[in-house]
Amino acid sequence: MMAGNELYVGTAIGLIVIGFVAVLTRRNLLKIVLGFSIADTGVNLLIVSLGWLPGRTAPIVDDPSMFSDRAALAVNAARVVDPVPQALVLTAIVIGVGVTALMLAYVIRLYAVGGTLDVRQFGRLKW
């Protein structure tokens, strides 16, 4: 049986859950942001593994015979993995770093104002 991507999907789900564990249980603000970053990495791994097809190479056409005629096009199509999830993940990673940067800016300001990184100290607005 061709090796499926259970391993990669399993690792990805593991990463997501570990990320959420940090987010939901750790008191330290930085740990929470770190948890989100790890969860994002997990999601990205999951999406790329969705598009992976065993035994196929990267979606880059590097020898001329690949597109000389119509028949070759179909051959080439059968040679590469799905490029779309990779495009999506490329965007998702950069969004991840963007959000992380903004969160860290918030954490720095919160520390400067609250003098602590404990998330429970920042719960004044309630009810």
Partner 1 sequence: MKQIVAVVALATLAILLWQLAPIAMPSGLGVVAQHYAEHGVQDNRGANLVTSVVVNYRGFDTLGEVTVLFLSVSGAAFVLRRRTGLEVHEPRRASEIVRTGARLLFAPIVLFGTYIFVHGHLTPGGGFQGGAVVASGVLLLLLANKDHPLPHGFLSWTESLSGLGFVAAGLAGLWAGGSFLANRGILPLGTWNQLFSAGVIPVIYTFVGLKVGSELATLLDVMMHAADEEVHQ
Partner 2 sequence: MVNPILLIAVSLGVAFLLPVVDRLGRGVSRTVHLLTLAFGMLVSFRWLAALAAGAQPARIITGGWPPPLGINLFFGPLEAALAALAFTTALVAALYLAHHEQVPTVKSLVIQLVLVVGAVGLIMTRDLFNTFVFLEITGIGTYAILSFGRERESLESGFKYMALGSVASIFILLGVAFLYKLTGTLNLDDMAGRLPAVAVAGVGTVLLLLLVGLMAELKLFPLNGPAIDIYDGGEPGVMALLVGTTVNAVLFTFFKVLSLYRGDAWALAVSTVGMVTFVVANLLAIRQTRVRRMLGYSSSAQLGLLVFLLPFVRGEVVLMSAMALLLLNHTLAKAGLLWLAGLHGGERLEDWRGAFPDSVALRVSLGALILAMVGMPPFPGFWGKWQALVGLARSDAWPWIVPLLVGSLLELVYYFGWYRHILEPAGEGSRGAGRAAFAEVAGILLFAGTALALGVRMTAGIWGGPASPALLLGLVGLVLLLVRAIPVKAGAAVSLAATAWILVRMFLSGGGCPLWNVQGFFVVVTLGGALVISLAGLGLPVERRSFWGLFLILVGSILGLITSPSLLGFFVGWELMTWSSYLLVSQGRKGTRPGFLYMLFSGAAGFLILGGLMVAEGAGVDAIGGLVQLGGGAALAAWTLVAAGFAVKVASLGVHIWAPDAYAESPDLFTPFLSGVISKIPIFGLAVVAARIAAPSLHTVAGALEPVHVLAWVGGLTAFGMTLLAVFQEDAKRLLAYSSVGQVGYIVAALAIMSPLGWTAGLWHVVNHLLFKGLLFLAVAGVVYRTGTRRFADMGGLITRMPVSFVSVLIGIIALSGVPPLSGFAGKWLLYEALMERGWLLLTAALMFASVIAFLYCFRLIHSIFLGQLKPEHRELREAPPALLAAQVLLMAGIMVLSVWPQALLDPLQRLVGATFGAAGLELEGALTLTTSFGYFNAVAIMTLVAVLFVVLLAFLLFAGPRSKKIRQLDIVYAAEVPPPPEELHYAWAFFKPYERAFAPILRSAATAFWKGVGEVTGALGEAGRRIYTGDAQTYMLYAMLFILVLAGLGLAG
Partner 3 sequence: MDIVTLFNLEDLLICAVILVAALGAVLHRNLLAAVVFAGVVSLAVSYLFLRLSAPDVAMTEAAIGAGITTVIFLIAVRRTEEVEREEP
Contacts (CB under 8 A) with partner 3, residues 104-123: 104, 107-108, 111, 116-118, 120
Residue 95 interacting with partner 2 (CB under 8 A): yes
Residue 45 interacting with partner 1 (CB under 8 A): no
Residue 55's region, left for phi above 0, alpha for psi from -120 to 50, else beta, is left
Count of beta carbons in the 10 Å neighbourhood of residue 77: 10
Q: Given CA atoms 95, 46, 90, 22 in this order, what sign does their dihedral have?
A: positive
Q: How far is the CB of 59 from partner 3 (least distance, A)?
A: 8
Q: How far is the CB of 56 from partner 2 (least distance, A)?
A: 16
Contacts (CB under 8 A) with partner 1, residues 47-76: 49-54, 58-62, 64, 66-67, 73-74, 76
Distance (Å, rounded) from C-alpha 107 to C-alpha 119?
Answer: 10
Count of beta carbons in the 10 Å neighbourhood of residue 59: 16
Among 11, 28, 86, 116, binds partner 1 (CB under 8 A): 86
Position 78: which residue type? A
Contacts (CB under 8 A) with partner 2, residues 41-80: 43, 46-47, 50-51
Distance (Å, rounded) from C-alpha 99 to C-alpha 105?
Answer: 10
61 binds, among partner 3, partner 2, partner 1, none (CB under 5 to 8 A by kind): partner 1
